[in-house]
């Protein structure tokens, strides 16, 4: 027999591995076990979330505390699957056996924030490989419900952006998206830097990782200005921030050491490109990039799929 229970909203776990016990249990996180799950007797273990609230787990008759558990499990391939990261994946892509309950009974953005917060900083980069484009889009949708919770709406994914002190500082992020057609195909995997300047404003830079993007990095670096923004212009959906790229001629008199001098952006980035950002969890955000165009009659177009941005804590510490 293997079972675990906890009543708290953010620390609820369920196992479906016992061939002898059939039950249906409502989960306070917004899922219930379907009849299909009760009929699942193939020995698979379904783990929805990691219990860290002191619940007692029964494993083959022995009473074990969650504190005795390892933060990972060994897969048949020999690889380690870290449980906290798997919680995020499972929540964004729940098994078919789990039926969503009334979404009004809990805030999914608050739950997702808590699960990302549970992942140690040095492991959050694993989300870049675990979350496929479909799940990044799902994270964008869930993050849109943050503002239904006033306390959660005040939280921020970036220490630099949240700090009231505007002293010069620097943060790096690794970014992942579904990419797009040339000349933005390099946006499938790239880096982002954000920094304060002595004029009190916050700026940033997109840094491509491909060989072709290296030319842009040097000759036409993609700088942007960070502005407060409440909604995506073309969809009127909520957001937290916007990165305005403009034409590239920003009034930057000082920028991080080693960064190139600002220059005119290449197409399509000079054509009123704006990246809208939603905070998802500590050090993690999602974004949409739109080419809104300078011409009034121009129809805005989405440049690529939703973008996942995860803070590079090691590089950010060096860049301070």
For the cut 80, the answer to whether the pLDDT of residue 292 exceeds it is yes
Number of domains, the chain = 2
Backbone angles phi, psi at 315, to 5 degrees: -70, -35
Q: Same domain, yes or no, for 68 and 173?
A: no
- Does 185 map to a domain? yes
Q: Same domain, yes or no, for 76 and 223?
A: no
pLDDT band at residue 212, thresholds of 50, 70 and 90? Answer: low
Q: Same domain, yes or no, for 166 and 98?
A: no
Model-level pTM? 0.79
The whole-number pLDDT of residue 8 equals 35
If you average pLDDT over every residue of the chain, what do you get?
78
- Does 227 map to a domain? yes
- Does 134 map to a domain? no
Most confident segment among 4-8, 39-43, 114-118, 217-221: 114-118
pLDDT band at residue 296, thresholds of 50, 70 and 90? Answer: confident
pLDDT in tens, 15-24: 333 333 233 3
pLDDT in tens, 253-266: 788 989 999 999 98
Q: Collapse the DSSP code of 114 into the 3-class scheme (helix H, G, I; strand E, B; otherwise coil) and give the result.
A: helix
Q: Collapse the DSSP code of 81 into the 3-class scheme (helix H, G, I; strand E, B; otherwise coil) and give the result.
A: strand
For the cut 90, the answer to whether the pLDDT of residue 129 exceeds it is yes
For the cut 70, the answer to whether the pLDDT of residue 36 exceeds it is no
Note down the domain range covering 11. Answer: 2-106
The whole-number pLDDT of residue 166 equals 65
Q: Same domain, yes or no, for 102 and 194?
A: no
Contacts of 258 (CB under 8 A, 6+ apart): none
Whether residue 314 is preceded by a cis peptide bond, meaning omega within 30 degrees of 0, is: no
For the cut 80, the answer to whether the pLDDT of residue 225 exceeds it is yes
- Does 196 map to a domain? yes
In whole angstroms, how far apart are CA 52 and each of 26, 68, 69, 74? 19, 11, 10, 20
- Does 164 map to a domain? yes
For the cut 80, the answer to whether the pLDDT of residue 12 exceeds it is no
CB 308 within 8 Å of CB 278: no
pLDDT band at residue 62, thresholds of 50, 70 and 90? Answer: very low
Considering only CA atoms, which of 208, 172, 175, 214 is closest in space to residue 193?
A: 172
CB atoms within 10 A of CB 268: 17
pLDDT band at residue 206, thresholds of 50, 70 and 90? Answer: very high
Q: Same domain, yes or no, for 162 and 287?
A: yes
Instruction: Provide mean pLDDT across the span 107-125.
Output: 95
pLDDT in tens, 74-97: 888 888 888 999 999 999 998 877
Task: Select from 50, 72, 106 the last residue of a domain.
Answer: 106
For the cut 80, the answer to whether the pLDDT of residue 189 exceeds it is yes
């Amino acid at each position: 027999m293997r079972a675990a229970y906890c009543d708290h909203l953010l620390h609820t776990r369920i196992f479906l591995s016992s061939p002898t016990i059939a039950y249906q249990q409502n989960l306070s996180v917004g899922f219930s076990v379907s009849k299909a799950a009760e009929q699942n007797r193939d020995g698979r273990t379904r783990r929805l979330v990691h219990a860290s609230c002191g619940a007692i787990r029964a494993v083959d008759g022995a009473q074990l505390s969650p504190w005795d558990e390892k933060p990972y499990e060994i897969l048949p391939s020999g690889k380690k699957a870290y449980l906290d990261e798997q919680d995020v994946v499972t929540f964004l892509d729940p098994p078919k056996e789990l039926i969503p309950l009334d979404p009004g009974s809990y805030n999914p953005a608050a739950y997702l924030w808590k699960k990302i917060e549970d992942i140690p900083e040095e492991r959050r980069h694993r989300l870049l490989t675990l979350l496929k484009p479909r799940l990044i889009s799902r994270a964008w949708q869930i993050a849109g419900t943050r503002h239904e919770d006033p306390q959660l709406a005040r939280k921020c994914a970036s220490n630099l952006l949240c700090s009231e002190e505007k002293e010069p500082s620097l943060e790096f992020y690794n970014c992942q998206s579904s990419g797009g057609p040339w000349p933005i195909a390099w946006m499938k995997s790239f880096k982002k830097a954000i920094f304060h300047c002595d004029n009190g404003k916050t700026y940033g830079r997109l840094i491509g990782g491909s060989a072709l993007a290296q030319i842009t990095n040097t000759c036409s670096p993609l700088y942007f200005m960070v502005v407060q923004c409440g909604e995506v212009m073309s969809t009127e959906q909520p957001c937290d921030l916007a990165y305005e790229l403009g034409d590239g001629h920003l009034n930057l008199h000082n920028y991080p050491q080693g960064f190139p001098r600002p220059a005119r952006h290449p197409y399509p980035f000079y054509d009123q490109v704006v990246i809208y950002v939603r905070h998802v969890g500590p050090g993690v955000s999602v974004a949409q990039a739109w080419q809104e165009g300078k011409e009034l009659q121009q129809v805005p177009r989405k440049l690529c799929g939703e973008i996942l941005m995860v803070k590079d804590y090691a590089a950010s510490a060096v860049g301070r």
